[in-house]
Structure 1
Amino acid sequence: MDGKTMLAYVIDKERSGAVKEVAVPEPGDHDVLIKVMAAGLCGTDAHIYQGEYYSEFPLVPGHEFAGIVAQTGKAVKRFTEGQRVVADPNIFCEKCHFCKQNVQNFCQDFQAVGVTRDGAFAEYVVVPEGCVFEIGAMSFTTGALVEPLSCVVYGQLRARPQLGDNVLIYGAGPIGLLHLQLAKRNGASFAAVVDVKAERLELAQKLGADRVLLSGSGLDDELRQEFPLGFHLVIDTSGVPKVVENAVAHVKNAGSLLIFGVCPPDAKINVSPYEIYKRDLKIIGSFALKKTFQPTINLIENQLIDVAVIVGEQIKLSQLPEQMEKFVAGKTAMKTVVTF
């Protein structure tokens, strides 16, 4: 691909992105060049676009993607041109203090496709061989959703509901709906879902929610009346600090709160340490993912989780600048997927 060019969506500074012609990246000896066929738009991409992340510009974002192997480096052994693949965007050194203890998501030399290096909102992307997974006949749009579900899988491995538990999920967006499905698969006997949009709650019901509640001023009282003992596991996917703060009151004694949504870095919440002590509560974080791509592919291939249901719009790369603005303004429906 030496000397060839491609189209890519490039963020050159805060709140400034455009589709441009750039050079096709060259794979190193241990890399795979992937022709991108589908790429999902994520909340992280919006944070990067708004300058709220640690990414440096110029940058081609996009870390949820699927495609076809176009070229392999000299030392690549497990992939050949033409294979249908997805890739874990997280690149771990496997040499540092944390990697050696199997805590790779805190790798001290961490890199991420579409975050610290150019990503998949482009016709081609380069990824290390160790991050690539074959997907067989899986559709490319579905393949682009392996990454967000992989994050959800990691989160529930961190705070797994026990058989028969009841679960409360704040947020019925794409991530909340994946958490709902996985919680039921993991053994939750009852799942309640909260959201500000009635149409999303209708979808949650279709996917197995036992109770849906529209968010509003009376929500906390409604939850206390219906569920006075609280929930074994409460999952926040909203990323709204006040929601996280209020969620603590609805965790059952000896229960867990999983903070999955990304709150602003400088946000603070008021939580009583005495309450955490007295009620034996667990507050659990979940950052990115760690070696959960293959289990996630297995879940999708065996039709145990419906990821297609979270797709809202499919657009072309040329539409991405406008779609990014709509996404940041909260005017998009569910998950946007760019197709090539």
Structure 2
Amino acid sequence: MKAAVLHSENHFVYQDIAIDNCQKDEVKIKVMAAGICGSDIHKMVSKWKYPLPAIMGHEFAGYIVEKGSEVTNVEIGDRVAAIPFFPCHTCEYCTSGMFSLCENHGMLGSKSYGGFAEFVNVKASNVLPIGEMDFEEAAMIEPLAVALHGVLNIQPRLGDVAAVFGVGTIGILAIQWLKIAGVKEIIAIDISDEKLAEAKEMGCERTINPINEDLMGKIKEYTNGQGVDIAFECAGSKVTQEQCLLITRKKGKIGYLGIAYSDVVLSEKAFENIFRNELTLKGFWNCYSAPFPGEEWTKSIDFILKGRIKLKELISHRFPLEETQQAFDLMINRTETYGKVLIIPNKE
């Protein structure tokens, strides 16, 4: 098969590579769409810590073209989304149903070959039927489940006011879930006016660009001086990771979805707010719960199929498999404004 093979940081080669027949508990997926995750980009500008050569891509969907002798849950021709995470099922977290915290998990696209290829072998237990869902939408189920994992666990109350820092893909998806959960008003915060305009189209009542607006002043204005009930950090910036602590009301909640890529040093005021305002801080990792893969995945599929989630509008670029290098170059160098970037290994 053809694949975009990673040989070193941000060095992809479009080449032929062998793929095994399915094991007895596996299926072979013909990949129709695969998303590039923000974490993929970070790995290209820092250090790749997994075996090389590698095939990246942990957000993908397609249809089954082969199945192992013991597979009974799906059939050849079924349209499916891949669950890239393989919990060990034996550590204390797995046996407690907290699969996102598994200490010995496998992962497609890093520890084993992923979706930037024409085909992928996946355990049959790690696929979910998608019905007639568009493959491009299905490739975004994984990030949608990541956003839902945060929203479900921050437990918004009907009528809450929330702020979302960083309105890239995860931020926009979190906004949509917060609206569904009954949040009364959402304030989108980003340094890109273009991203803020997209957030407004997705239902955000207010936006703030801290580059040319007074963040604290605007928050006070919009919340009658109280601060927001919930702050979601989706930017992965040490600046916004601190600002969450400054804009949240007493007894408010802060959810961290963005990865910290550098040390976070807090001002005295920000740190004091944690205990003086009795804030609740929660971090959210991955998107899995019991029974595996969890309601994050099943609800994401249900809401997409019911037309309750907008995904197509978030896709800005599509690249054929042979242009995977160009896709990463665009995102790393920010040569254009982009939203969700997809790799298309096969055409219908």
- TM-superposed deviation, 1:113: 0.7
Instruction: Give ranges in structure 1 of 5+ residues lacking alignment.
Output: 1-5
For the Cα contact (< 8 Å) 2:133–2:305, is it kept in 1? yes
Match of 2:86 in 1: 91
- TM-superposed deviation, 1:56: 2.6
1:311 paired residue among 315, 324, 327 = 315
1:333 paired residue among 300, 316, 338 = 338
In 2, Cα distance between the equivalents of 1:332 and 1:324?
A: 13
Alignment of 1:111 with 2:132, yes or no, is no
Q: 1:299 to 1:52 in 2, by over 3 A?
A: farther
In 1, Cα distance between the equivalents of 2:221 and 2:161?
A: 16
For the Cα contact (< 8 Å) 1:48–1:55, is it kept in 2? no
Match of 1:237 in 2: 234
Alignment of 1:13 with 2:8, yes or no, is yes
**Structure 1 stretch 145-154 or stretch 224-233: which is displaced more?**
224-233
Match of 1:226 in 2: 222
Task: Give the TM-score of the pair, scaled to structure 2.
Answer: 0.92
- When the two chains are superposed, the root-mean-square deviation of aligned CA atoms in Å is 1.5
For the Cα contact (< 8 Å) 1:15–1:51, is it kept in 2? no
- Residues 187-212 of structure 1: per-residue CA shift (max 9 Å, x gap): 10011101122222122111111101
**Structure 1 stretch 38-47 or stretch 212-221: which is displaced more?**
212-221
Match of 1:281 in 2: 279
Alignment of 1:269 with 2:265, yes or no, is yes
- TM-superposed deviation, 1:51: 4.3
Letter in 2 for 1:285: G
SS of the residue corresponding to residue 90 of structure 2 reads coil
- Residues 15-58 of structure 1: per-residue CA shift (max 9 Å, x gap): 32221110123322111110000001111211233344543321
SS of the residue corresponding to residue 36 of structure 1 reads strand
Match of 1:151 in 2: 146
- TM-superposed deviation, 1:273: 4.7
In 2, Cα distance between the equivalents of 1:187 and 1:269?
A: 34
In 2, Cα distance between the equivalents of 1:205 and 1:28?
A: 47
For the Cα contact (< 8 Å) 1:85–1:133, is it kept in 2? yes
**Structure 1 stretch 161-170 or stretch 40-49: which is displaced more?**
40-49
In 2, Cα distance between the equivalents of 1:311 and 1:15?
A: 22
Identity fraction in percent: 26
SS of the residue corresponding to residue 98 of structure 1 reads helix
For the Cα contact (< 8 Å) 1:242–1:269, is it kept in 2? no
Match of 2:291 in 1: none
In 2, Cα distance between the equivalents of 1:149 and 1:277?
A: 32
For the Cα contact (< 8 Å) 1:86–1:144, is it kept in 2? yes
Q: 1:215 to 1:25 in 2, by over 3 A?
A: farther
Letter in 2 for 1:313: H
- TM-superposed deviation, 1:274: 3.9
In 2, Cα distance between the equivalents of 1:134 and 1:173?
A: 27
In 2, Cα distance between the equivalents of 1:55 and 1:46?
A: 15
Match of 2:183 in 1: 188
In 1, Cα distance between the equivalents of 2:81 and 2:227?
A: 39
- TM-superposed deviation, 1:245: 0.6
SS of the residue corresponding to residue 60 of structure 2 reads strand
For the Cα contact (< 8 Å) 2:9–2:48, is it kept in 1? no
Alignment of 1:247 with 2:244, yes or no, is yes
Q: Residues 23-102 of structure 1 correspond to what in structure 2 (within 5 A)? A: 23-52=18-47, 54-102=49-97
- TM-superposed deviation, 1:327: 0.8
In 1, Cα distance between the equivalents of 2:263 and 2:20?
A: 38
Q: Size of the alignment, in residue pairs?
A: 334
**Structure 1 stretch 97-106 or stretch 219-228: which is displaced more?**
219-228
Alignment of 1:123 with 2:118, yes or no, is yes
- TM-superposed deviation, 1:248: 0.6
Instruction: Give ranges in structure 2 of 5+ residues lacking alignment.
Output: 289-293
Task: Give the TM-score of the pair, scaled to structure 1.
Answer: 0.94
SS of the residue corresponding to residue 99 of structure 1 reads helix
Letter in 2 for 1:338: I
1:297 paired residue among 297, 301, 304 = 301
